[in-house]
Amino acid sequence: MSNTSAKGKDFTSDEITYEMLDVSDIARAYQQIMGEIRKVYIGRTEIFEMLWIAMLTGKHVYLEGVPGIGKTYMANSFSQCLGTEFSRIQFTPDMLPSDIVGTNIFNPKTGTFRLKKGPIFGNVILADEVNRAPPKTQSAMLEAMGEGQVSIEGETHRLEKPFVVLATANPVEQEGTYPLPEAQLDRFMIKVIIHHSSPDDELRIIKFKNEPVPAKIRQVVSPQTIVAMMDVVKRVYVCPEILEMIRDITVATRTDPRLILGCSPRGSESLLLSGKSRAAIHGRDFVIPDDIILMIPHIVHHRLILKPEAELEGITQIRISEDIRDSLSIPVDPVEEEMVYEEYIEEIDDED
């Protein structure tokens, strides 16, 4: 079934280009995705907003939560809505890098080698229990996540867009696990902590499992449309005052006396890109302060390392980011911002 919007655009078509789209199309696609997700997923559906933000920026998500709360089902359902190729990698202590990226296999009949691609060659990659793999295997993900490519026996292979890694980790069980180094955690633009369902949602899940109601997820967009939407997001306008606010957030983490390590420039980039993406999925082609402020918990927390004395005092990364948020100088001049935005649009039109 095709997905034709109110304006007659079929988002599942492979012929959609960036010139045919605007932010209202991204917002419409998001609403349709959420409509499909609600057919099959019970619980905090706002998590899918974070997944869609990451997809539109080409970045990655770190999902933390106890076993059995539907992280795998969430990723698979999200991939079905997008019509993308879904790969699940179950990380184990004995896993090798070649189990992820693939290897060259010798064919004795032809006397040649052929590439057997690993599960990393997909669009939506679920790295399940990524903290169970040894550091050497975890590092095999770094090139794929950072550069969109993998190296196999000295040969570089590009990964098809869109490409997003959804990595899960169990925060409770530590036996047989390898904590992710800061260099790898920093590669994840967004971290989402998934909690247990509310009592009402728990009852709905039990009733659904007791008397299942068949529900099929309909594809909303195509991979090609997602790539075109990514180009639309890049053109979302950010005023100079909000750029300065992003700078103030990251600099404040670096100078906070309670921290050993604050946000890197990649953290600033993540706040910028996620803010632009959030603006687009809410139908705006310009970023407002709330787009940045509401992303702070998901962007900043996992990039902060507390000093031991701060941990002993019960201070958390959440508290520090809240303190930084409360101390921000928020731009509040929408009239001036709108005038600057109109000038920005005129400049783009002149360039085109």
Average pLDDT, the chain: 86
Q: Which residue has the higher pLDDT, 240 or 214?
A: 240
If you average pLDDT over residues 320-342, what whole number do you get?
A: 69
Other beta carbons within 10 angstroms of residue 214's beta carbon come to 4
Same structural domain, 219 and 273: no
If you average pLDDT over residues 312-328, what whole number do you get?
A: 90
At 147-171, the pLDDT tens digits run: 888 888 888 889 999 999 999 887 7
Same structural domain, 162 and 275: no
d(CA 224, CA 290): 30
If you average pLDDT over residues 122-138, what whole number do you get?
A: 87
Same structural domain, 138 and 108: yes
From 211-225, 264-278, 299-313, the region with the lowest mean pLDDT:
211-225
245: nearest Cα among 190, 186, 295, 185 = 295
Q: How many domains does the chain have?
A: 2
Task: Let me know how long the chain is.
Answer: 352
Q: Which residue has the higher pLDDT, 109 or 338?
A: 109
Q: Which of 76-85, 93-102, 273-282 has the highest mean pLDDT?
A: 273-282
d(CA 241, CA 248): 10
Same structural domain, 96 and 209: yes
Three-point CA angle 301, 306, 312, nearest 5°:
125
Can you give the residue range of the structural domain that contains 346?
Answer: 235-352
What is residue 339's predicted lDDT score, i.e. its pLDDT? 46
Q: Which residue has the higher pLDDT, 281 or 19?
A: 281
If you average pLDDT over residues 322-343, what whole number do you get?
A: 66
- Which CATH number do you get for residue 204? 3.40.50.300
Same structural domain, 183 and 249: no
Domain boundary (234, 250, 270) is at 234
Q: Which residue has the higher pLDDT, 350 or 14?
A: 14
Classify strands 155-158 and 164-169 as parallel, antiparallel or unpaired.
Answer: unpaired
- CA 47 to mean position of chain CA atoms: 10
Same structural domain, 150 and 160: yes
Domain boundary (211, 234, 257) is at 234
d(CA 60, CA 125): 10
What is residue 123's predicted lDDT score, i.e. its pLDDT? 93
> Does the pLDDT at position 32 exceed 60?
yes
Same structural domain, 259 and 311: yes
At 37-94, the pLDDT tens digits run: 988 888 888 899 999 999 999 999 999 888 888 888 889 999 999 999 999 999 888 8
- Which CATH number do you get for residue 349? 1.10.8.80
Three-state secondary structure of the chain: CCCECCCCCECCCCCCCHHHCCHHHHHHHHHHHHHHHHHHCCCCCCHHHHHHHHHHHCCCEEEECCCCCCHHHHHHHHHHHHCCCEEEEECCCCCCCHHHHEEEEEECCCCEEEEEECCCCCCEEEEECHHHCCHHHHHHHHHHHHHCEEEECCEEEECCCCCEEEEEECCCCCCCCCCCCHHHHCCCCEEEECCCCCHHHHHHHHHHHHCCCCCCCCCCCCHHHHHHHHHHHHCCECCHHHHHHHHHHHHHHHHCCCEEECCCHHHHHHHHHHHHHHHHHCCCCECCHHHHHCCHHHHCHHHCEECHHHHHCCCCHHHHHHHHHHCCCCCCCHHHHHHHHHHHHHHHHHHC
Same structural domain, 263 and 131: no
First to last CA, the chain: 35
> Does the pLDDT at position 335 exceed 50?
no
What is residue 2's predicted lDDT score, i.e. its pLDDT? 43
Same structural domain, 220 and 278: no
Same structural domain, 96 and 198: yes
Same structural domain, 176 and 260: no
Position 225 confidence tier, pLDDT thresholds 50, 70, 90: very high
What is residue 278's predicted lDDT score, i.e. its pLDDT? 96
Same structural domain, 10 and 138: yes
